Structure 1
Amino acid sequence: MKIKNILSILFFLVSFSFYAQNGNLDEKREKIKEYKVAFLTTELELTSAEAEKFWPIYNAYDDKQFELRHDKMKTYLRKLNDDTINSISEKEATTLLSQIESTDKELYLLKEKYIQSLKKILSAKKILKLKKSEDDFNRKLLKQYRDKAGKN
């Protein structure tokens, strides 16, 4: 598995854990989303015309990606705890593996469509800058979480 995928999964799990420990999931997610919008807006230096087209595409992608990762993957992870994984049949394991692969494909196709949409409004350089900015934001968020966890 590529390091980017591992970081994405780690970020998802950490952020999910963060939400679960600190109350209202939707409220926390919205607050993080606000910080992310502010961060990306600053980093990308979008023109008004670019921003007008970019944010609806970005938000739709971000929401769908969250839905796939959170709703579907959460279901899979529940089934993968130590007690369950040792007691499921090979047939059930095969079915679960197929479901995970299907969700991975959905995520891949979603990202592919998203990038194609972005290419219509942003330069390749800005798309790469977006990717870097998202990674920077995720590292910053993870660092804040670690710092907060270290103080408790």
Structure 2
Amino acid sequence: MKTKIIIPIIFLLISAFSFSQNHKEKREKVKALKVAYITEKLELTTEEAQKFWPIYNAFDDEQAELRYEKMKAILDRFKPGNVEKLSEKEASALLVQMEKIEESLYNLRKKFIKDLQNVISAKKIIKLKKTEEDFNRELIKQIREKRKEN
């Protein structure tokens, strides 16, 4: 349940960086830190890493694209007053769209796990999930600390 909350928050925080000129640099820095963190925590061998990262990066890119699509589709609807202006038919259509995106994310995750099973052990796949959550928590913590400093 926490992941369902943390991942969108991380996505929104990263999206918020898009308004700054340093967006690409910050995104690349976060990505590099994430790669190092995951590689270390999973204790990936060189061979595993060579097979793992292309699968992970493709999954991560597609997941980000689906999440962006979801956010783009619903953000305008959730501005103050917009939800109240929706007709029941529009709300139902939006709900169907949201469900389709969630289903796509679920199917993407299933495929990702299946693909990873040919590369790393089941134990490392489970450890990956925890490692991603730990990384996201640490990222949020650092962002909050940085905001307090400013």
Using structure 2 for the length normalisation, give the TM-score: 0.91
Alpha-carbon RMSD across the aligned residues, in angstroms, is 1.5
Aligned partner of 2:133 among 109, 132, 135: 135
Shift of 1:13: 2.1
Shift of 1:143: 0.3
Distance (whole Å) between structure 1 residues aligned to residue 80 and residue 100 of structure 2 = 23
Identity %: 49
> Which residue matches 1:114?
112
Aligned length: 150
Misfit runs of 4+, over 4 Å: none
Select between 58-67 and 31-40 the one with higher mean Cα deviation. Answer: 31-40
Distance (whole Å) between structure 2 residues aligned to residue 32 and residue 71 of structure 1 = 22
Q: Is the 8 A contact 1:65 1:107 kept in 2?
A: yes
Q: Is the 8 A contact 1:73 1:100 kept in 2?
A: no
Distance (whole Å) between structure 2 residues aligned to residue 36 and residue 114 of structure 1 = 18
For residues 1-152 of structure 1, the aligned pairs below 5 Å read: 2-17=1-16, 19-20=17-18, 22-152=20-150
Distance (whole Å) between structure 2 residues aligned to residue 27 and residue 99 of structure 1 = 32
Distance 1:75 1:27, change over 3 A: farther
Shift of 1:47: 1.1
Structure 1 alignment gaps of length 5 or more? none
Distance (whole Å) between structure 2 residues aligned to residue 150 and residue 21 of structure 1 = 20
Distance (whole Å) between structure 2 residues aligned to residue 3 and residue 46 of structure 1 = 26
Q: Is the 8 A contact 1:118 1:127 kept in 2?
A: yes
Shift of 1:24: 4.4
Distance (whole Å) between structure 1 residues aligned to residue 70 and residue 3 of structure 2 = 20
Distance (whole Å) between structure 1 residues aligned to residue 22 and residue 54 of structure 2 = 25
